[in-house]
A and B are shown apart, each in its own frame.
Chain A
C-alpha cells in the first residue's frame, strides 16, 4: 500500500466536512496507512467473476402505498434545532450557488 499523503487526507477531510488540525491530519495519515494496509487484502479475494453483494437481503420491490402518514408539527420538527425563526430552521449564511 502506498503512503497516504497529508494532502490526500486533507482533501478527504474537506469532502467529509471535517475541520481537522494539521496534527490530526498527520496522525490520521499514518493510521490510514496502517488500516488500508490491513484491509487492502480484500483485493486478493475479489476476482472478476465474483458478483458484488451490497445487501444481505435478496428482496425486491419493497414499496409503500401512496397514503399520507402523520408527520411532525413545526414545533416538534424544530424542537432540537440550534436556532429557528418563523417556524424555519435558522442556519448561518449559505455559500455557494443560488438555489
Chain B
C-alpha cells in the first residue's frame, strides 16, 4: 500500500479510474506518510485528516455510482496556507491570523473540490509569502527533504517539501517573485507560475496584487499540467482574471516535442553569482534540448538587471496596502484591548505583535516608497522598469518560442545562513522575478543535482502560451528521467523515502 505515495498523480488517476485502488486508500497512504515524516520536514501547518477522508469517501461513492469524474478525482493535494478554505485554519504563516477559519473558500479551492481533488491540509510558508526560505513562517521552518539542515526555498517551501517528501503528489503554490519556482528548484520538483490572470486570485491572501499568481506544483510535468487544467480559467470574482480558454497544457505535456522550436538563453541570467554546479546542469539540459531538435540561441534582456530592485519596491508597496486590513477589528489577533486603549492603539500594538520581522521590514519599505515626496523616485521609477522589462520580453519572444535560464543562482542553502542579511536573501529570486513583473508564464523543473542537491531549470513562455512550458518541460524531463531511471525525486535521500517504505 505504501508504494501508492511514490506514484504520480497521473498513475494514481489511472488506478483510481480502473478501481484498482480507492480514493480512501490513496488518501490514507498519504496521511500515514505525513504522520511518519512531517515531524522532520514540517511541511504542514494543518492536516485535515477527517475532511480529507470524507472527501475521498465522496469520490469513491460517486465513482461507485458510475458518475463521470475528472482525472484528478480522488488524488490528494497539499494546499499552501495562503488560500482561504472555508472552516479550515488559514494563517498565511502569520501569528496575526492564527486561528482564523475563513467563512468562504478561494475559487481555486472550489475548483479543486469540484474536481474531486482531496485536500490533505495546509502547508507552511514564509509569512504572507514574504521570503525565499520558509524561515519567515511564524510557525517554524520547513526542512528540505534532500537535506534537513537546509531550507526548502520559499515562500512555498511547505508545498514543495510535501511533494519531495512524498506526503502529497500534488500541491498548490503562489508565486509573486518566484515562490513556486524557487522552492520547486531547491526540492527537485516541478512548479509553474501561470500567466498573470490565468488562475483566479479570489480567496488568495494578497501579497502583491499585480504580481501574485497561483499555480500548480507536482513531481512530474504531466501531473503539473493535469493540476493546471483543473485550477485555471476565468473567474467572475477576480477582475484581473483573463476571459479566454486555458492553453492546452495537458496536450502539450503529452506531446513533449521540441523539434523545430527556438529556445532563447537569457544572457543576463547566467555567469557571475551562479554556482558552477547550477551552470553545468543548465548547460547539460540545453544540450539535451538541442539534441531533441530545438535551436538554441542567446538573447539579451538588458533591463533584467533592474528587475530585483523594481520588484523590491513594487511588491512591498502593494503589500503595505494589502496588509493594512490586518488591524484587529474584524478577524485575527487582537492585542492590548484592556478597555482603556483606543482602537488606534490596539491596531498598532496588534500589528507590531502579530507581524514578523520581514513583514514589518517590507511594510516600512513599501509605506516609505509610496509616501509623499518619494513616490516618483521609488514606486514610479520601479513601474518604468516594469515597462522596460516587459519590452525586453516582447523583443525576445519575437525571435524565440521560449526563454530559459537556471531557476536559482544556487542550490538550497543551510537554514539560518541568510536570515540576517535581507539583501543577500533577496538575491535568491533574481532569475524568477522578471517573469512576475511582466506577467508571463514560467516553469521550473529539475535539471539534476549539484553536490547532492537539486538544481532547477526555468522555462519562460509568453502570456497565455503556458502550453509551451509543458511541451518543452516534458521533452526535457523525458530525456533526463531516462538517464536517471525516473524523475529526480526518486533519487531523494533514503532518509525520507525509507521513512515511508
In the complex they form, whether A and B have CB atoms below 8 Å apart is answered with yes
Residue B85 lies at the interface, judged by CB distance under 8 Å to chain A: no
Residue B351 lies at the interface, judged by CB distance under 8 Å to chain A: yes
Known A-B contacts A12-B368, A41-B309; the reply to A83 vs B103 at CB < 8 A is: no
Residue B313 lies at the interface, judged by CB distance under 8 Å to chain A: yes
Known A-B contacts A12-B364, A83-B337; the reply to A93 vs B352 at CB < 8 A is: no
Residue B481 lies at the interface, judged by CB distance under 8 Å to chain A: no
Residue A68 lies at the interface, judged by CB distance under 8 Å to chain B: no
Q: Of A28, A62, A93, which contacts B360 at CB under 8 A?
A: A28
Encode contact with A along B218-240: 1 for CB under 8 Å, 0 otherwise: 00000000000000000010011
Cα(A92)–Cα(B104), bound, Å: 26
CB distance from A35 to the nearest CB of B (A): 6
Contact A18 B351 (CB under 8 A): yes
Contact B103 A77 (CB under 8 A): yes
Contact A82 B103 (CB under 8 A): no
Contact B342 A93 (CB under 8 A): yes
Cα(A44)–Cα(B463), bound, Å: 28
CB distance from A48 to the nearest CB of B (A): 9
CB distance from B225 to the nearest CB of A (A): 23
Contact B101 A80 (CB under 8 A): yes
Cα(A15)–Cα(B377), bound, Å: 19
Residue B40 lies at the interface, judged by CB distance under 8 Å to chain A: no
Cα(A38)–Cα(B309), bound, Å: 7
CB distance from A33 to the nearest CB of B (A): 11
Point out the residues of chain B lying under 8 angstroms from A51, CB to CB: 384, 387
Q: Of B306, B327, B345, B463, which contacts A41 at CB under 8 A?
A: B306
Interface residues of A in 65-90 (CB under 8 A from B): 72, 76-77, 79-83, 89
Encode contact with B along A10-53: 1 for CB under 8 Å, 0 otherwise: 00111111111000100010011011101111111111001111
The chain A residue sitting closest to B332, CB to CB, is A80
Q: Of B101, B384, B390, which contacts A47 at CB under 8 A?
A: B384
Interface size class of B (residues with CB under 8 A): 35 or more
Contact A16 B367 (CB under 8 A): yes
Cα(A79)–Cα(B124), bound, Å: 24
Cα(A47)–Cα(B325), bound, Å: 35
Residue B380 lies at the interface, judged by CB distance under 8 Å to chain A: yes
Known A-B contacts A15-B367, A28-B364, A79-B103; the reply to A34 vs B384 at CB < 8 A is: no
Residue B312 lies at the interface, judged by CB distance under 8 Å to chain A: yes
Contact A89 B381 (CB under 8 A): no
Cα(A84)–Cα(B341), bound, Å: 17
Point out the residues of chain A lying under 8 angstroms from B387, CB to CB: 50-53
Point out the residues of chain B lying under 8 angstroms from A38, CB to CB: 308-309, 312, 423, 426
Contact B210 A56 (CB under 8 A): yes
Interface residues of B in 370-416 (CB under 8 A from A): 371, 377-378, 380-388, 390
CB distance from B244 to the nearest CB of A (A): 10
Number of CB contacts from chain A to chain B under 8 A: 184
Point out the residues of chain A lying under 8 angstroms from B309, CB to CB: 38-42
Known A-B contacts A42-B381, A47-B384, A56-B210; the reply to A80 vs B390 at CB < 8 A is: no
CB distance from A19 to the nearest CB of B (A): 4
Contact B390 A53 (CB under 8 A): yes
Point out the residues of chain B lying under 8 angstroms from A83, CB to CB: 334, 337
Cα(A19)–Cα(B363), bound, Å: 13
Known A-B contacts A16-B364, A17-B351, A95-B343; the reply to A39 vs B313 at CB < 8 A is: yes
Known A-B contacts A82-B334, A93-B343; the reply to A42 vs B364 at CB < 8 A is: no
Interface residues of B in 281-311 (CB under 8 A from A): 303, 306, 308-310
Contact A42 B346 (CB under 8 A): no
Known A-B contacts A17-B327, A52-B383; the reply to A94 vs B342 at CB < 8 A is: yes
Known A-B contacts A53-B390, A54-B383, A82-B337; the reply to A34 vs B342 at CB < 8 A is: no
Point out the residues of chain B lying under 8 angstroms from A56, CB to CB: 196-197, 210-211, 390, 437-439, 463
Contact A80 B422 (CB under 8 A): no
The chain A residue sitting closest to B196, CB to CB, is A56
Contact B329 A89 (CB under 8 A): yes
Point out the residues of chain B lying under 8 angstroms from A39, CB to CB: 308-310, 312-313, 378, 382
Cα(A59)–Cα(B464), bound, Å: 14
Residue A91 lies at the interface, judged by CB distance under 8 Å to chain B: yes
Cα(A19)–Cα(B338), bound, Å: 16
Known A-B contacts A18-B360, A39-B313, A93-B342; the reply to A54 vs B210 at CB < 8 A is: yes
Cα(A17)–Cα(B347), bound, Å: 7
Contact A18 B363 (CB under 8 A): yes
Q: Of A20, A91, A94, which contacts B352 at CB under 8 A?
A: A20
15 contacts across the A-B interface (CB closer than 8 A): A15-B367, A17-B344, A17-B351, A18-B352, A19-B351, A35-B423, A38-B423, A46-B384, A55-B240, A56-B463, A59-B240, A64-B239, A80-B102, A80-B331, A96-B344
Q: Given A16-B320, A17-B344, A39-B378, 8 more contacts at CB 8 Å?
A: A17-B351, A18-B355, A38-B312, A42-B306, A45-B381, A56-B439, A95-B342, A95-B344
**What 8 A-B pairs come out closest when comparing CB atoms?**
A56-B439, A52-B383, A80-B331, A46-B381, A19-B348, A82-B334, A46-B384, A76-B103
Measuring CB to CB, which residues of chain B are less than 8 angstroms from any residue of chain A? 100-104, 196-197, 210-211, 236, 239-240, 242, 303, 306, 308-310, 312-313, 320, 324, 327-334, 337, 339, 341-349, 351-352, 355, 360-361, 363-365, 367-368, 371, 377-378, 380-388, 390, 422-423, 426, 437-439, 463
